[in-house]
């Protein structure tokens, strides 16, 4: 609907605003479902948000978190990769990817990701702790 309005009058700021509001609402619904531990439902909503705005790095990030909570770690890693592609300074995405790799027993890869995280935020306690763990 909003895309049609934008096509009819691409100078109409209200159409862009309303489309943005709708995407924010979808994203917030997904977050709420995630925090309620309704991970599969959250995935469905994040999928819808991604279809509407494939550049929304937060939707990929929280989709990855929901996948982690469903123990679908390989899929989660791909979501964190997409988050990092869209937002290369998203320390949380590096941390979550590093954690997923660590849980899969891929310590060398995990350490590499945590080092990348530290290069962005040298004060990153999680990354530092994971790298210092034996």
Query: pLDDT-derived band of residue 22, with 50, 70 and 90 as boundaries?
Result: low
Higher pLDDT, 15 or 134: 134
Reply yes or no on whether the pLDDT at 12 is more than 60.
Answer: no
Reply yes or no on whether the pLDDT at 17 is more than 70.
Answer: no
> Average pLDDT for residues 80-93, to the nearest whole number?
97
Reply yes or no on whether the pLDDT at 28 is more than 90.
Answer: no
> Average pLDDT for residues 32-48, to the nearest whole number?
83
> Average pLDDT for residues 91-100, to the nearest whole number?
97
Reply yes or no on whether the pLDDT at 93 is more than 60.
Answer: yes
Reply yes or no on whether the pLDDT at 21 is more than 50.
Answer: no
Task: Supply the pLDDT for residue 121.
Answer: 96
Query: pLDDT-derived band of residue 9, with 50, 70 and 90 as boundaries?
Result: very low
The span from the first CA to the last CA of the chain, in angstroms, equals 55
Q: Please, which residues have CB within 8 angstroms of residue 50's CB and are 6 or more apart in sequence?
A: 56, 59, 60, 63
Q: Are 56 and 87 in contact (CB under 8 A)?
A: no
């Amino acid at each position: 609907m909003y895309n049609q309005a934008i096509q009819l009058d691409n100078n109409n700021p209200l159409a862009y605003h309303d489309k943005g509001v709708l995407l924010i609402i979808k994203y917030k619904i997904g977050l709420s479902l995630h925090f309620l531990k309704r991970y599969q439902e959250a995935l469905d909503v994040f999928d819808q948000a991604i279809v509407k705005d494939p550049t929304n790095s937060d939707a990929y990030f929280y989709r990855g978190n929901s996948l982690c909570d469903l123990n679908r770690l390989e899929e989660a890693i791909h979501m964190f990769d997409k988050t990092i592609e869209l937002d290369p300074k998203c320390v949380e995405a590096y941390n979550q990817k590093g954690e997923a790799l660590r849980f899969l027993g891929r310590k060398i890869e995990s350490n590499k990701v945590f080092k990348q995280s530290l290069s962005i935020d040298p004060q990153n306690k999680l990354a530092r702790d994971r790298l210092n763990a034996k």
